[in-house]
Structure 1
Amino acid sequence: MSVVTLTVSDDEADIRLDRWFRRHYPHLTQGALQKLCRTGQVRVDGKRADTATRLVPGQAVRVPPIPAAARPAPPPRPVLDERTVREIRGMVLYSDAQVIVLNKPAGLAVQGGPGITHHVDGMLDALKDNDDDPRPRLVHRIDRDTSGLLLLARTPGVAAKLAASFRGRDVRKTYWAVVIGRPTPASGVIDQPLARLGVGPGALTVVASRKDEDAVHALSEYEVLDAAGRRLSWLALSPLTGRTHQLRVHCEALGTPILGDPKYGGDAAHPEGFVDRLHLHARSLDLPHPAGGRLQVSAELPAHMRETFRQLGFTAGATPAPRRS
């Protein structure tokens, strides 16, 4: 065993040092890596680095002798049946060598959990072009009950670049919602800190006091696009921060909960005469493309929201085709 120096590749741009080690030395534990960094045995371009350091292509990573260790092989992924393959491929709105954009249906979870065996993450192998390609990676999440756009990266390096864009607020996300009532004023910014109560599936997000030590900053833009009197409104929503259930709680805080919300809004969110499903749809994404330029993608409304639009006389218009500029 001896010291080796490895060069960060273009595909590893902006990846954290600990994740870089996980890719190259999967048997090295996080605790062992932290010790190597703390004692200066791991260096990036000759300088000490911690596990959260983000790497740049061309940098030299000094790797000290690392003993080989047996590590149980991960369990094989289940073979996907033809129906599941058709299901995930039918969601694809845009695909190129770097990214894939899906239109996720309402009711389908993004990842697994207690009692959840059918989810997007479990289908991603079906989106590989070749068996030897890396498995596409989720870049962000949307709620199980929310329909619409979900962004995937084809490689870990692309995933790191896109994650940096989300952190830097270079990504513009627009959601459409049908809400109970009509906000006043007709557009604005909701500036309400949020906090999580509880853990697991039963956890709730609530508006918090700014003095609450558990409170996190949360900002959402909203605009009324149309309204059926004071009864129901169609909103465009843009989260400027990414908190769990942020838009759902912010709409409730406005006094206009989202129609059909199973968790927030109480009885008011479930008036008779409408499909009783969450009316929240991730409509559009505008983001820097990892290979340059920007990518704009929009997703058609799900069937239950199209029916509600028809009942209320709202006109969504044509959905533009994906565009990279």
Structure 2
Amino acid sequence: MSASPLLLRNLFSANKILIKPYFANSVKAMEARHDLPITSLDYPKPISAPPPPISKDIELKRAIEASSKSSLFNLTRDDVLYEDEWLMAVDKPKGVYCEYILSSAPKIIVDSSNEFHLANRLDRDTSGVMLITKSHKVAAKLVKAFTEHKIRKSYIALSIGPSPNWSKITVKSGHGRSKHGAWRVYAALDVGRVLPGGSFVRDMETTFEVVSINGENPQPSESESTIVVQGEPELSCVGDDVVVVRAFPRSGRTHQIRLHCQYLGIPIRGDVKYHGMYEWRGRTSEGHELHAESLSLDHPVTGDPLVIQAPLPCWAAGDV
């Protein structure tokens, strides 16, 4: 049952930390006390819903189409956002796999080497800024910078759902694969607990800002709320408002923004894996509408501040 509008307003009042009731024991602690045999571990339960049945066929179709498109893709100089002797930033198109971007990079660089590496990765249908390094040493420095959260990332997403009762919100949760192999949101208290297959729940944090609702810019607000995920989401996904948000992921977990949008009740349009609208107002989506807008970092060699921005896609250009 979805929460009432009054309850949602109370939940997202300014500077309020939300704790949902959830109780969990550490698997390691239970093993130490011999409360559970190793064959019947009490695995943590995912918070977000699993992919809907329709997503399997749609995702397979998109993967086949992307493989065909990727095999024919070649970078051009028009795709380059920034380049120096150590690294290059390119604008990755939607529906192309990262590996094909990397393999075509040497074709547009005169002094190409054999040490090209992807410094960051984007999902198949996510467009935007992608960094390619030209040496092992620079690659290692950027990996360290990403791991230590020294690189600021911003994304733009277009969602369909109810109009948010917040203007800025931070979501803190766990992240991991369920027993069915799908990425899911887990409770924050479950971080560190073991999952089926031997992996662990890891922390995940994203800050969101509302850019527009149905093409209108919201009133500016200094208030900010925080959700610490501890139980089932209380937010309704019922609604057909067009909500454009800017996302700032602190961690870099797989499908992080997509999962947190699902949790907030505003799944990304076309993101069928995470309950986003596939058919909407007479058209079907070729993929989810998520764009890596910018990267802000200190140059791994010179130390100079560097801000790299990608042009906005057509679905976002009118709202941002």
TM > 0.5 fold call: yes
2:152 corresponds to which residue? 172
Question: What RMSD over aligned residues (CA atoms) do the two structures have, in Å?
Answer: 2.2
2:312 corresponds to which residue? 301
2:169 corresponds to which residue? 188
Percent pairwise identity: 31
Say if 1:192 and 1:217, in contact at 8 Å, map to a contact too.
yes
Q: Distance in 2 between matches of 1:195 and 1:121?
A: 27
1:184 positional shift: 2.8
From 93, 96, 101, the equivalent of 2:84 is: 96
Equivalent positions of 1:217-296 (< 5 A) are 217-228=203-214, 231-266=241-276, 268=277, 270-273=279-282, 276=285, 277-290=287-300, 291-296=302-307
1:188 positional shift: 1.1
1:91 positional shift: 1.7
- Give the 3-state SS of the residue equivalent to 1:100 in structure 2: strand
Q: Which runs of 5+ in 2 are unaligned?
A: 1-71, 195-199, 217-238
Q: Distance in 1 between matches of 2:127 and 2:182?
A: 20
**Structure 1 residue runs of 4 or more that deviate by more than 6 Å after TM superposition:** none
Question: Kindly tell me: are residues 246 and 264 of structure 1, through their superposed partners in 2, closer, same or farther at Cα, counting changes over 3 Å?
Answer: same
- Give the 3-state SS of the residue equivalent to 1:160 in structure 2: helix
2:93 corresponds to which residue? 105
Whose relative contact order is higher, 1 or 2, with alpha carbons under 8 Å and at least 6 apart?
A: 2
From 187, 195, 202, the equivalent of 1:216 is: 202
Aligned residue type for 1:204? A
Q: Which runs of 5+ in 1 are unaligned?
A: 1-82, 112-118, 317-325
Say if 1:258 and 1:269, in contact at 8 Å, map to a contact too.
no
- Give the 3-state SS of the residue equivalent to 2:166 in structure 1: coil
Q: In terms of Rg, which structure is larger? A: 1
Q: Distance in 1 between matches of 2:76 and 2:118?
A: 14
1:127 positional shift: 4.1
Q: Distance in 2 between matches of 1:269 and 1:208?
A: 25
Equivalent positions of 1:49-68 (< 5 A) are none
Say if 1:106 and 1:146, in contact at 8 Å, map to a contact too.
yes
TM-score (norm 2): 0.62
Q: Distance in 2 between matches of 1:282 and 1:84?
A: 19
Say if 1:173 and 1:238, in contact at 8 Å, map to a contact too.
yes
Q: 274-283 or 233-242, which moves further after superposition?
A: 274-283
Q: Distance in 2 between matches of 1:192 and 1:88?
A: 39
1:140 corresponds to which residue? 120
Say if 1:177 and 1:235, in contact at 8 Å, map to a contact too.
yes
Figure out how many residues of one structure are paired with residues of the other and give that number.
Answer: 214
1:190 positional shift: 0.8
Say if 2:97 and 2:124, in contact at 8 Å, map to a contact too.
yes
1:180 positional shift: 1.4
Aligned residue type for 1:272? R
Equivalent positions of 1:154-169 (< 5 A) are 154-169=134-149
Say if 1:180 and 1:269, in contact at 8 Å, map to a contact too.
no
1:198 positional shift: 6.0
Aligned residue type for 1:259? R
Q: 242-251 or 275-284, which moves further after superposition?
A: 275-284
Encode CA deviations 1:288-317: one digit per residue, 9 max, x unaligned: 1121211101111224x25xx55xxx2x3x
Encode CA deviations 1:213-257: one digit per residue, 9 max, x unaligned: 232110001000111177111100011001100100000000110
Encode CA deviations 1:234-290: one digit per residue, 9 max, x unaligned: 100011001100100000000110011131115x45422456131100001101112
